[in-house]
Structure 1
């Protein structure tokens, strides 16, 4: 769309934000949706006898019983997160990984076959997968060669059916943080939702956008317990947004989307923030050492700056190096076919021993 024709969707003549609340964004069927009312929604107090949810009253064939349905709103976990993040419970959504939050945003705000979203490749692949599942058109505006937003290209791609813009920062697979001022430009000048995915924010020098929730009503911030918190196997993702957006997401989600075991283990983990902070510090130290070690190899052409727990390495022979490492039992990620990532391997920062094994093994690569 030509830029002069597009300005009505990007900002008004006075430069004020065109975002006017969720009324024009929300799907009509979601506005009318009456959510499923579970037994634990209807009664949330304490009792000695629960005969309301058709559960197995005898327990579970496990050491710990999981015969009762979990809290559908995960209030205790949200209390712990609220204290850590400085965000009220009413502004927190918990899902079965961040992927569930992404899917719910599509299902809540994008009309299949009508609306579109803007993605900025190279970026996290689930934005595209969820769009395809929900029959939502994708408008790709690639990052610049230095992996930053192309604001002019985004402005030209927006039309009246553009509902969301996804920005991953620190970005996956490039590892860099997106310029904060550029994200703020989107938030201030786009009438739809700006979804900032901060899965790797714990490793970044940038501060989280959750501090801006009160300033931008169209901001959704995604985070996860999978990375720095080491709970990838539990599948606990977070979304932070206005109370209005969180209410919509809670209405659309399945009633018991985060299981009891994940809630209990997440609570235990959230009580050990000192351990997590120590791991983050060690990860950053090991990341720097890994970068220095990889620079010595002739087949390494470039190592891009990273604010994450991985590095993107440009090589002369990505497929050959990948296959060589596989033969030695070492698995990295071949990203050489991803847009703007030709020749690149993505290498996660491991333990000191794992990083040493990688570097020593690469010395034998011919």
Structure 2
């Protein structure tokens, strides 16, 4: 079948109704859509991100010459589970539904050669960045330990609701604070999680101190000038720790990329990483135990006719899929 034809699953992966009770089938990597954008604070439209990313991924199905593997022709069974069903009217209820469905996917039965089931790797297509919180809740319960998070973003996403005068109960969870709640709930490792690509303005100078108190380190976009790109990779590795001991989750807000290359996002910030730099940094993490990832904040209504942003999102997922499968091969 030509790459431009067919139903739009991610990279033409087989579709599996993972959420239906009674469906018993093993898989190693599960792609989930979470078309949630109740939590945005500026431009809306990230609910259409999963479908745009899948459409742009149709041409991806081959050998990764940098990672040296074809993730679609390997030991791993990759499936697209479709979109998580949730009610888009109440944020807390929707977040709980996303959490419950992610847990369900993570609890696949053991394979014939497994005494204990190894949880599949989760690839989540956002949606706004709020979805990171329910996914981390599901992973924390599954692995019974905090998760090391590398958060690629132009914003810290650790806004404290009590500091920023968020009074409405339904507004406590939004795309500016999933990591605040995650840290408070003990979902993330303290001191070995980090933000990469930060460059936005802050509400006040205390934002950095509050972020550090939650256990995060910062690698700014402008650090590329002083550290160089290899220096940035080395700095990230020094924060997250040894490969063998780290359960790593990669969360990519597409606005970490400069808006000249990724315009379709709700809160664009100038001065971001270039796509080539971003891919290089990701490949520097090859060999780590990546248990999950997401790409969020793709709002295709603001893209060019060339679909630059959604193509980029699909490519970044492909890079990380390749690393996940490569490590499992070793």
For the aligned pair, the TM-score class normalised by the smaller chain equals 0.3 to 0.5
Tell me the TM-score normalised to structure 1 length: 0.30
Bigger Rg over Cα: 1
Tell me the TM-score normalised to structure 2 length: 0.32
Q: Which has the higher contact order (CA 8 A, sep 6+)?
A: 2
